[in-house]
Structure 1
Amino acid sequence: MEENITPAKPRRGFWIKIIPIVIIIALIAAMIGFKGYIIVEPGHRGVIVQLGKVMPYVLDEGFHIIVPFIQDVIPVEVRLQKDQSDQTTSSKDLQVVNTTIAVNYRLNPGNVNKLFQDVGLEYKEKVIDPAVSESLKAVTAQYTAEELISKRSEVSAKVKETLGKKLAVYYMELDDINITEFDFSDQFNQAIEEKQIAEQQALKANLDLQRIQVEAQQQIEQAKAEAEALKLQKDVITPELVELRKIEAQLEAIKKWDGKLPTVTGSGAVPFIDISNLNK
């Protein structure tokens, strides 16, 4: 008799192959249905909160699988950000200074989980604004109002250094700052203008005095030269030279004479005599 053989092995192999596929499909469906994945957008990092606890690692940009109902992901921007504010401080000489300052900063990508745990997402109100105000006040108090204007680049460098140290404590990186304006009271601005005018007038008066002194010295030197010349001339004049000059003058007069005698002569009360008729 022939035995009946049941084809069990092929069916068992089929299920062995199909079960993993079914499980994968079920997991994908569950992951989609229960939001078991997260996509971190460019310029962001993901802070994982698992059952109320911040995890010690951070999700980079891209696709990530998470455990539904157990893990939440908080996206945090790590791109360059700008904070601009108006600040009121005091200078070394107790002048009120109104300042507009712009701050460019970014969060440290690898430590956003620590920032979220220590500060939260309100870091601008809790950290940035107070740090900017304190840094600016600390630096402007070291300079007079006039120095804040004349040494603006130095002031900016000190504010940047001070602010950078404060932000680094909270896992932030300072990129740059720009102090766009230093504004003082109207009375101070007027005083500065009057001082500049007075300095210009004093400078002009000093230049005029120097010019007068130079001109006076030039006149003195010229007078000395003329006196020296006269002295030299006096030393060389002799009686022979005087007679020679007289002869030279007479010769010069003869050269200019046209050969005609004067027709009328006379002087004082003596009547004029017409000598033209003497030859007749």
Structure 2
Amino acid sequence: MPPPMKNVTPGRSGTDWTLTYGLIAVVVIGVIALYSSSAVVPPGYRGVSITLGSVSPDMRPEGFSLKKPFIEDIRFMEIRQQTQSGKATCFSSDMQTVDIAFNIMYRVPENKVVTLFKDYSGDPYYSLIEPRVQETLKQVTAERRAEDLVRNREAVKTEVLRKLKINIGELLFVEDLVVANIDLSDELEKAIEMKVVREQEALAKKFELEKAQKEGEITLVTAKAESEAMQLRGNAIKASPEVVQLEIIKKWDGRSPQVVSLGAGAAPGATILLPATK
């Protein structure tokens, strides 16, 4: 009697599995190669291409860009205006400690992206701007007294910004510098406040003195004018007595006044004007 038949499930051979795995590997490698062969530079940024450690002199604009898969990398650098804050401890010309807090606005020129990436490590602010801001602030404050720094903050800002632009040149555009705060010691701040109060009081007293002088001058001019006017009227009357008579006639109300002589003992020509009769 022949042996019973066994159920044999048909399956794939080793060659079939090898082809399947190989196909999957090719697809995965293709996807990775496709992904690594392109890059998208964000808005406000520019790309720097690096191939096997060599930096390309050509900048990549924003948007979609092709690259060599696996061997080329694209780094991004922002060209929009940026703001950084910082502090500097300086000394004034009268050897006072001055702490200055500042905000600086800057941006990277588009044509300097590759140069900055190649020649300056890291963020351009920390490698280029901040050291020069610190140095320039110390130079400017060393030329002024602490009190003048507080009173002329805008002049300090203008001078620092001017020198900073010269020191940095065209590598970066320094748009503006804001001196947020100038901090002195408590004792010096109190001394400056007291000095300001005394100066204000002195100005108030000076104003009152000038006001009194002006009022005195006005009074003197008015009195002199009245005196000269009276003198002119007196001279006019002496020169033309008929003027008095003319004024009397103009003001006469039609009634006859009564004039009585005071007699021989009185001064010559002395008379009394009695009320007029109706």
How does the TM-score come out when normalised to structure 1?
A: 0.63
1:37 Cα deviation after fit: 1.4
Q: Distance in 2 between matches of 1:212 and 1:119?
A: 68
1:244 Cα deviation after fit: 5.0
Q: Name the CA shift for 1:45/1:213 in 2 (closer, same or farther; >3 Å).
A: closer
Deviations along 1:232-275, one digit per CA (max 9) or x if unpaired, are: 9xxxxxx9863655x639x79xxxxxxxxxxxxxxxxxxxxxxx
Q: Distance in 2 between matches of 1:41 and 1:215?
A: 73
1:101 Cα deviation after fit: 0.7
| DSSP 3-state at the match of 1:180 | strand
Deviations along 1:68-92, one digit per CA (max 9) or x if unpaired, are: 2322111111111110112222223
Q: Distance in 2 between matches of 1:97 and 1:215?
A: 47
Tell which structure's C-alpha radius of gyration is larger: 1
Q: Which amino acid in structure 1 is aligned with residue 80 of structure 2?
A: R
1:59 Cα deviation after fit: 0.6
1:191 Cα deviation after fit: 1.6
User: Cα RMSD (Å) of the superposition?
Assistant: 3.8
Contact (CA 8 Å) 2:33, 2:69: kept in 1 or not?
no
Aligned to 1:129: 130
Q: Name the CA shift for 1:110/1:240 in 2 (closer, same or farther; >3 Å).
A: farther
Aligned to 2:100: 99
| DSSP 3-state at the match of 1:248 | strand
Contact (CA 8 Å) 1:30, 1:36: kept in 2 or not?
no
Name stretches of at least 5 consecutive residues in structure 2 with no aligned partner. Answer: 1-26, 235-263
Q: Name the CA shift for 1:240/1:176 in 2 (closer, same or farther; >3 Å).
A: farther
Q: Distance in 2 between matches of 1:42 and 1:72?
A: 18
How does the TM-score come out when normalised to structure 2?
A: 0.63
Contact (CA 8 Å) 2:34, 2:69: kept in 1 or not?
no
Deviations along 1:24-55, one digit per CA (max 9) or x if unpaired, are: xx9x9467446111111111111111111111
Name stretches of at least 5 consecutive residues in structure 1 with no aligned partner. Answer: 1-25, 233-238, 253-280
Aligned to 1:248: 272
Aligned to 1:116: 117
Q: Percent of aligned pairs with the same residue?
A: 30
Q: Name the CA shift for 1:186/1:74 in 2 (closer, same or farther; >3 Å).
A: same
1:204 Cα deviation after fit: 4.0
Q: Distance in 2 between matches of 1:84 and 1:105?
A: 11
Q: Name the CA shift for 1:81/1:201 in 2 (closer, same or farther; >3 Å).
A: closer
Contact (CA 8 Å) 1:100, 1:179: kept in 2 or not?
yes
1:214 Cα deviation after fit: 7.0
Q: How many residues are treated as equivalent by the alignment?
A: 218
Q: Name the CA shift for 1:49/1:195 in 2 (closer, same or farther; >3 Å).
A: same
Q: Following superposition of structure 1 onto structure 2, how do residues 15-94 of structure 1 map, counting pairs within 5 Å?
A: 29=30, 32-33=33-34, 35-94=36-95
Q: Distance in 2 between matches of 1:30 and 1:64?
A: 17
